Chains A and B, each alone.
Chain A
């Protein structure tokens, strides 16, 4: 085995990490800020892919514009979901779990009723369906796009949470909702906006996954498990999810390089279970009251 192949595996690891991370970002925000375990996260990803498909197929919107548009559309869905359902369930984690699971079924079957269960197709500019190569190194252009979008979103989220007034409010509510409320922060509004933000991020992930993968009503299910793992291992914070995705993505790629894909997954899940046995609160757990 030569040096080039290992380097390629490491680069691929970064790309796999970015895919795992972007799937987990929305869930991290919603779980971290509002403490809601959103079982419908996979279906929000699926809605993002279908939004892009709709915009492209019916309105002829170019693909790159579909990405932010999917953010807006799915964020609106998230907003409606939060106002219509989740806001009544904030202090009942088990009920939110069941309710969001129900929502996921409704969304999946609803999309199936409207679009049918046959797979859909997202067209991208020709330049994205090729690769960049430099000597023995090679990576697909679209993987670079996913990586860039993920990096951009992480930066934007960091700025939002640590450099704006809204971010301070969110962090205050995360630490202690009642105390924050007594300082005049409208916690209900903060929850609503963070939920919409998290949903919108899932929408962005969906419009990217529609290109890597296939647009189907059931596509969300394959991403939601790994997204949950990243959030749990990361401890629900943004930095935690970034580190967790980075490490597991690299492990996935390197293990698969030395053995095979199936064994790599097996090893990762075993390691995660062992890790959670010794650190159930995740990598970077926030001090503060949990609801």
Chain B
């Protein structure tokens, strides 16, 4: 057995084995998933070169950005947080929890009380040691409405937080087996004293210290010498350039001014693959493009009509034409194989004009055009996608009328207001969070106005269930309910498409977020 393990480790060192393969093979040999993953990291990083300056060109930054992690809402602040900040735990590329500031996580049988043991000797950039009190103060700050935290919904479920020695105890209002996944949220960067005095100080326990902060222009960092984990953070310095223009970003990568970039336009990904010196990296993520119907407003309160529309969309055509093939087809529920506990036996819904026509007839709709609202900013290609939908629906005898809305104000005037429109979701690390955010009856962002008592009950039951097999079965049942009764038409999941230069070593696919979940520049090195 050790021979075989050695061979796998050697293969990982040579870069011949992906993390997924390695973990799959070694867990089959009896290794625990966390250990296997850690072993892979060690092996894959054995050949890492230290030093140098890694530059990242990114879309998604504005001159209005702040270093306050609670306020991060776009891509650049997310990656900036991941550079100087450190969370309690993080979600690894294969979907397992990896320990960061916490060293051990445990819960009681009902998953209502969680204990995080804080790693000893972790230092903040200002020289102070990270304590359990800092962790509690950080979480408390995010519960304060005034902090305007993007993680408010996550920390609201915690009724009591306390610190004792190196142990943080969190008591929840209701059991939640996914709590560690929620603590990996990128807003929940642990700050000294919780960051209460100066939330935007940019002082954390992450691998790099903030040196330059020019929002919307560039962010510069240098290696934090006392970082607790020497298996990552290979470069001495790293810089993030905000390059929102697609062409300019690709030009910067091609001319070698940056080493990696996010958001390759699917239209040019194919061309960029053939360009010398650069590689396109894409990974199936959890983000998806959708058309949403309000199930409480006519004519969408009729499930036959909803089913007719779901059957009248050609998913493969959308993936090919709108995503340029860089994505996968959806199945009218917001979960795919990138989530843990995904049930891949749920039958795939296909385009079927005859069945759609039949359901449409059964619905008794009066034949008046159904208005679908869309805008270029709803998702990239949203107007074209609506037009494709219009054509395939027309083939089934369903009249769709496209109403093009301006980008400005789309999210306040159209989305969540009008009964049928185009939209997108970024996905969440676990199923529970995705469903609780947008499909629970009481959810703030229930953008299909879906209210189903049975569904809510299943969601709460699954949340506190620690038996993974039972949980998976419950999630499958919930997926069926959304797929067959919900107001969601989900034609496609989009890939994260990044690109790197050839000299970047150590890249691996990470479905949690773009640029290796915001740490591409921290986990990679320059060969």
Q: Do A and B come from one complex?
A: no
Residues of A within 8 A of B (CB): none
